[in-house]
Amino acid sequence: MIELDASSPALATSSSDPITSDSFAPPAGTLLAACLSIRDSTDTAQSVTDSAGLTWTQRVTRLSAQGGPAGQVGIWTAPCPIGVPAGMTVSAAVASVVTPMGLKVYVWRGVDLANPVGATGGSGTNVSENNNFTFQAYLNTVRGSRGIAACHDWNNLGLPSSTDEESAAVISGAQAVCHIIKANNTDADPGAQVTFNVDAAGSGAPFTKLCWAELLPAIARPPYGRTHLQAAQRASAW
């Protein structure tokens, strides 16, 4: 079962990049998921690194050139198979640009480290003229998966919120960042609609750029010894 680990650091914000998270100590067998919300309108390349030397993979981005308001968002993941008990930090930047940004690192237990991500996608348009809107993100690909999303509001409305679980802040320039996770795993057969909610501050229409990803659960396997014991018992019965 996918669960959020208590070692996840708080949302980090900065008026310029690179940006670095607080120190945290992820346990063995976890997946780190970094959500980025960036004010940059030049679509320069994102990068994510860390002090422990983990391998990061960019799972999904949404850039200015893909339509809608300026700014960009992204979701990256890194497996942490042996843990970092001494603590580590995660840093993010965009190439050749100094720009305000937000970084939220989630530490997840119960994710398939070899194949952690299923459905991904994004939107670069003014997805709703409503101040509070719920957008249809993806159809789940497996039972027990968990949704995460990164959002950026270019319209300077103030601090956003969500009926899901959000980590939100206002960054330099009065623009807002909002990183969202579903409160629970999607306990439905593949093909169920997964949505995310964003409630912008005030009453104006937000210009939101967003992206999302589906985290996949690890496959439960019986212990090695038990498997072979069962095989031996079957053989003796023959």
Q: Where are the domains of the chain?
A: 3-227
Contact 72, 100 (CB under 8 A): no
pLDDT tens track for 147-185: 999 988 877 788 888 999 999 998 876 678 889 999 999
**Residue 168 in tokens:** 């939100």
Beta strands in the chain (DSSP E): 3-4, 12-14, 19-20, 30-38, 46-50, 57-62, 72-80, 90-94, 101-109, 117-123, 132-139, 146-153, 165-170, 176-181, 193-199, 208-215
CB count within 10 Å of CB 199 equals 18
Q: How confident is the model at residue 236 (pLDDT cuts 50, 70, 90)?
A: very low
Q: What is the mean pLDDT of residues 36-64?
A: 89
Question: How buried is 139 (Cβ within 10 angstroms: 0-12 exposed, 13-18 middle, 19+ buried)?
Answer: middle
pTM over 0.85, yes/no: yes
* Per-chain mean pLDDT for the chain: 86
